[in-house]
Amino acid sequence: MQNGNPVLETVQAALEREPHINLHRWPVHLDLTDDSVLIMEGDVESIAAKKRALELAGAVADVRGVVDRLHVAPGEPKGDGEILDALETALLDARDFKNCSLRVIKKGQTLTLQEILDDDSSGDILVSVNDGVVTLDGWVISLSHKRLAGVLAWWMPGCRDVVDAVEVLPPEQDTDDEVTDALSLVLEMDPLIPHPAQISIHTRDYVVTLDGLVATQAEKDRAEQDAWYLFAVDGVINQLAVSR
C-alpha cells in the first residue's frame, strides 16, 4: 500500500472494521493507479470476505473502479486437472444441465463432454481452470442455470475463484425472487443440507436473509456460504437457529 495515501487509508480502515475480513491473518494488498482505480490483491478466508472487500472498496469516494485480484484460500489445495475433473462430473450429474451442451478446455484443447443439438437445448457451457480459478463461458437459458453453474464451481475442492462469464439468452431481468428461487434450488442440491425445506429464504435488494432451523452449526454456516456463492448476492443475514 502506498504510504500516506488518504484513499488507500480509507479503504484499509473500512476493511479492518468488517467482521468477515481478517487482515491480520489474510492481508490484502492495495494499490491505486494514477486514474484512481483500486487494485486489490491477495488471499481471503471466504467468499463473504471477498465480496464484502470489493463492495466496501467500491463505495469509497474517489475510487473510480476496482480491479479484483482477490482469491479465496482453498480448504484443501488441488491441481487444476483435479478441479476440472470433479466439476465435469458435477455438471454431468446435475439434473438442470442434462439438456445443456458441456465442454471443457484441457491442455489447450476444447473437449466436448455432452452435446445437445436440438432446438430445446438449455445452454452450451465451456469450462476452464487456471491456477485454481474456474472460468465459465457460453450461454444458458436462465439466470437460475447461470447461478447454479457458478455454485457448482465454487463447491469444487481447491477452487480459489469463479469467473462466471456465462450469458443468459434471451436476456432475463434479474430480481430478488430470482435469487430466492436459485438459492432454494442450490440448497436442495447441497448434500450437506439434509433438510432444505426447514430453511426459509427472503431476498431484498440482493441481500439474502435465512430463517428456520438446522441441526448443526456446520449446516448453518454452509447455508450462508451457499447464499454468498450466488451471482449478484451482495449480503447475507443468517438468522438460522441450531437445534443442537
Over the stretch 212-230, which tens digit does the pLDDT of each residue have?
Answer: 999 999 999 999 999 999 9
pLDDT averaged over the chain? Answer: 96
pLDDT tens-digit series, residues 6-19 = 999 999 999 999 99
Q: What is the DSSP letter of 34?
A: T
On the question of pLDDT at 84 being above 70, the answer is yes
CATH topology (fold) of 6-72: Histidine-containing Protein; Chain: A; (3.30.1340)
pLDDT value, residue 244:
75
| pLDDT reading at 241 higher than 70 | yes
pLDDT of res. 2: 59
> Residue 118's pLDDT band (boundaries 50, 70, 90)?
confident
CA 129 to chain centre: 15
Average pLDDT over residues 180-186: 97
Is residue 131 predicted with pLDDT exceeding 70? yes
Task: State the cell numbers at 161.
Answer: 475463484
CATH 2.30.30 for the 176-242 domain, yes or no:
no
Q: How many angstroms separate the CA atoms of 150 and 178, rounded?
A: 15
| The pLDDT of residue 50 | 97
Query: What is the tens place of the pLDDT at every residue in 162-179?
Result: 999 999 999 999 999 999
- Residue 3: pLDDT over 70: no
State the span(s) of the chain assigned CATH 3.30.1340. 6-72, 176-242
Task: Give the single-character DSSP code of 73.
Answer: P
CA 137/CA 115 separation, integer angstroms: 15
User: What's the CA gap between 70 and 42, in Å, rounded?
Assistant: 5
Q: Where do the H-state alpha helices sit in 104-231?
A: 143-155, 176-189, 217-229
C-alpha grid cell, residue 158: 481447491
Query: Where are any strands of DSSP class E within the chain?
Result: 29-32, 37-44, 65-72, 101-106, 109-114, 123-130, 133-140, 161-164, 167-168, 199-204, 207-214, 235-238, 241-242
The whole-number pLDDT of residue 132 equals 97
pLDDT at 191 exceeding the cut of 70 = yes
Place of cell 436473509: 209
Query: In this model, does residue 192 exceed pLDDT 60?
Result: yes
φ, ψ at 143 (rounded to 5°):
-65, -35
